[in-house]
Amino acid sequence: MADTGHGADAALRIKALESLLVEKQLIDPKALDAVVELYEHKIGPRNGAKVVARAWVDPDYRKRLLADGTAAIAELGFSGVQGEDMIVVENTPEVHNMVVCTLCSCYPWPTLGLPPVWYKAAPYRARSVIDPRGVLAEFGVEVPETVEVRVWDSNAELRYLVLPMRPAGTEGMTEEQLAALVTRDSMIGTGVPMAA
């Protein structure tokens, strides 16, 4: 397994790379600050939560989302790097979906932000395909034997977002209240939305 890079070594490497790129006039350091600002404050799982909540309250939007994820997500203003070609997969009483990238760390950035460390780690990537139910159990998700566990390996250029099932007892809730129930992990498939 390659060094995934953490701690002081990674920090040094990043500093060295940044210095080189700036010296060669490939980047303006302020451009890096702008990228960091975007991913710290604007692009993250609250975007995906808005998509999910909209799909829960608007059946036509749900249909568009499942038919053309990229276009439907763009309707809410989310698009771009690592979300250029999106597929949305829907959990149902018969199917529980779960997303992994076994080759590296492919993840739908516009809707979920940058991937958590565990998503990029070798154990999650290896075990999600051979023992998804074991991994799900460790995340506290028990999937009955009568339900199909469907793993999506985002190995190529498609990026996947799970549309979790709307929790029971949320009939009277607003779209905004519903979005607050949608967790990051529920959109990866390693969790379920919070209860109402």
Residues in the annotated binding site for Fe(3+): 101, 104-106
Q: What gap in Å lies between CA 171 and CA 187, rounded to an integer?
A: 21
Shortest Cβ 139–another protein spacing (Å) = 16
Region of 172 on the Ramachandran plot (φ > 0 left; ψ -120 to 50 alpha; else beta): alpha
- Does the protein bind another protein through residue 170 (CB under 8 A)? no
**Token pair in block for residue 33:** 């600050």
Helix (H, G, I), strand (E, B) or coil at 151: strand
- Does the protein bind another protein through residue 121 (CB under 8 A)? no
Q: For residues 133 and 180, which CB has a smaller minimum distance to another protein in the complex?
A: 133
Helix (H, G, I), strand (E, B) or coil at 25: coil
DSSP string over 53-115: HHHHH-HHHHHHHHH-HHHHHHHTT---TT-SSEEEEE--SSEEEEEE-SSS----HHHH-SP
- Does the protein bind another protein through residue 152 (CB under 8 A)? yes
Q: What angle do CA 109, 113, 114 make, to 5 degrees?
A: 90
Catalytic pick from 79, 106, 154, 186? Answer: 106
Member of 45, 108, 113, 132 binding another protein (CB under 8 A)? 132
Shortest Cβ 68–another protein spacing (Å) = 12
- Does the protein bind another protein through residue 38 (CB under 8 A)? yes
Whether 143 contacts 133, CB under 8 Å: yes
Helix 59-67 to helix 45-57 angle (10° resolution) is 120
Member of 12, 16, 71, 81 binding another protein (CB under 8 A)? 81
- Does the protein bind another protein through residue 31 (CB under 8 A)? yes
Residue 101 known to be catalytic: yes
Shortest Cβ 95–another protein spacing (Å) = 9
Q: For residues 57 and 149, which CB has a smaller minimum distance to another protein in the complex?
A: 149
Catalytic pick from 19, 79, 104, 128? Answer: 104
| Contacting positions for another protein (CB under 8 A) | 22, 25-28, 30-31, 33-35, 38, 43, 79-85, 87, 102-103, 110, 129-130, 132-133, 145-158
